[in-house]
Amino acid sequence: MTRETELAIKVENLTKRYGELLAVDDISFAVGKGEVFALLGPNGAGKSTTVEIINTIRKATSGSVTLLGMDVTKKKHEIVSRIGVLPQGFSSFERITVKETLQYYSRLYCGNHPDIDGLIELVNLTDKAKEQYKSLSGGLKQRLGIAIALVNNPEVVFLDEPTTGLDPRARHEVWQVLQGLKKEGKTVFLTTHYMEEAELLADTVAIISKGKIIAMGSPAELIEENAKYQILTLQSVDEIVFETVRKIGFEPVLTDDKNIRIRVEHTEDVQKILSALKDAGALYLGLDVRKPNLEEVFLKLTGEALHYDTAGEGGAK
């Protein structure tokens, strides 16, 4: 049992309503100090509303939240100086440089004199220090946003959808920065709809759907508890493969890249499928057998896929 002094965040029976809309529905969880905690869910699930209540931006309808041992409704001034926030859709001043941007934000924190060059190095922007914000790519802007969130040397960092809208390369570069925060022992509260992001970075993942937390644990625990099967993928198949697999009692799914994915409960099922394909003369170029990932767990628990609406999360964030 984690002691109260070891907790960075404690949420109990948190509820938020917007009129008739129940955005957050009686959720409870705790985040340990030095932990990377990911709140994973689709657009409109309640992620952003939850994080905004925790970091004092919004007020809850009911329930309680303590952050660094303080009630967020009573100690806002003390809390704000000890946290960093990267909001969803971060932007900054177009015509000042990376270094000038960090110098500006550092002056907002009275008496604080951060190592600006060290922050720039931490987020891998040393060679961009003299470039204006408007000339940066999306990934570089997000890395600058993370540096801004760290300018007051916070104990807890909130990152709301930090890689949304980035291409795969830029996303992986941001992940490297977040892994660096983890190594430094920062407590990181991450909201995301990217399964791979949560699986790679988080110590604990909470899956939220329609305002309720429906599962929570380490990525490995969630997969082990909720997906006791394997996924067989057959690559570049011909038309006979799909029908052959169906005839022997399995449910093949055709992917966007024209591969077939099959859920198998037992290892011997793989051999059964391959033998049937051989007997039918069906052709495929390759195969892969693996355990499910968080995406399969999410689909099983919620019955819905994760999609992102670039317009934002609407009323239930």
pLDDT in tens, 243-257: 999 999 999 998 878
Q: Which residues of 194-222 are buried (b: 16+ CB within 10 A; e: fewer)?
A: bbbbbbebbebbbbbbbbebebbeebeeb
Cα–Cα distance, 176 to 37 (Å, whole number): 16
User: In terms of C-beta density within 10 A (0-12 exposed, 13-18 middle, 19 or more buried), how is residue 180 classed?
Assistant: middle
| For residue 5, pLDDT beyond 90 | no
Residue that is written with structure tokens 């960075």 in the block: 8
312 pLDDT tier (thresholds 50, 70, 90): very low
Q: What is the mean pLDDT of the chain?
A: 90
| For residue 260, pLDDT beyond 80 | yes
In the chain, the largest separation of any two C-alpha atoms, in whole Å, equals 76
Cβ contacts of 55 within 8 Å, gap of 6 or more = 67, 72, 79, 83, 85, 158
Q: How far is CA 42 from CA 21, 50, 97, in A?
A: 17, 14, 34
The segment(s) of the chain belonging to CATH 3.40.50.300 are 4-82+155-225
The segment(s) of the chain belonging to CATH 3.30.70.980 are 228-290
The pLDDT, as a whole number, for residue 229 is 85
- Helix, strand or coil for residue 112? coil
The pLDDT, as a whole number, for residue 211 is 96
**How many C-beta atoms lie closer than 10 Å to residue 87's C-beta?**
18
Q: Which of 20-24, 95-99, 134-138, 233-237 has the lowest mean pLDDT?
A: 233-237
* Structure token digits, residue 182: 């983890």
- Helix, strand or coil for residue 99? helix
pLDDT cut 90: percent of the chain above it: 70
Cβ contacts of 96 within 8 Å, gap of 6 or more = 104, 132, 133
C-alpha angle 217-220-226 in degrees, rounded to nearest 5: 75
| CATH architecture label of 228-290 | 2-Layer Sandwich (3.30)
Residue that is written with structure tokens 């409960």 in the block: 265
309 pLDDT tier (thresholds 50, 70, 90): very low
| For residue 315, pLDDT beyond 70 | no
| For residue 166, pLDDT beyond 50 | yes
Residue that is written with structure tokens 């380490």 in the block: 218
> Taking Cα atoms as reference points, which of 141, 128, 57, 127 lies closest to residue 92?
141
User: In terms of C-beta density within 10 A (0-12 exposed, 13-18 middle, 19 or more buried), how is residue 186 classed?
Assistant: buried
Question: According to the CATH classification, is domain 4-82+155-225 in 3.40.50.720?
Answer: no
Q: Which amino acid belongs to residue 131?
A: E
Helix (H) or strand (E) holding 214: strand 212-217
Strand boundaries in 68-168, DSSP class E:
70-71, 83-86, 156-160
The pLDDT, as a whole number, for residue 288 is 92
The tens digit of pLDDT for each residue in 110-130 reads 656 789 999 999 999 999 999
Cβ contacts of 110 within 8 Å, gap of 6 or more = none
CB 208 within 8 A of CB 45: yes
Cα–Cα distance, 44 to 38 (Å, whole number): 16
Cα–Cα distance, 116 to 303 (Å, whole number): 46
> Taking Cα atoms as reference points, which of 99, 135, 134 lies closest to residue 118?
99
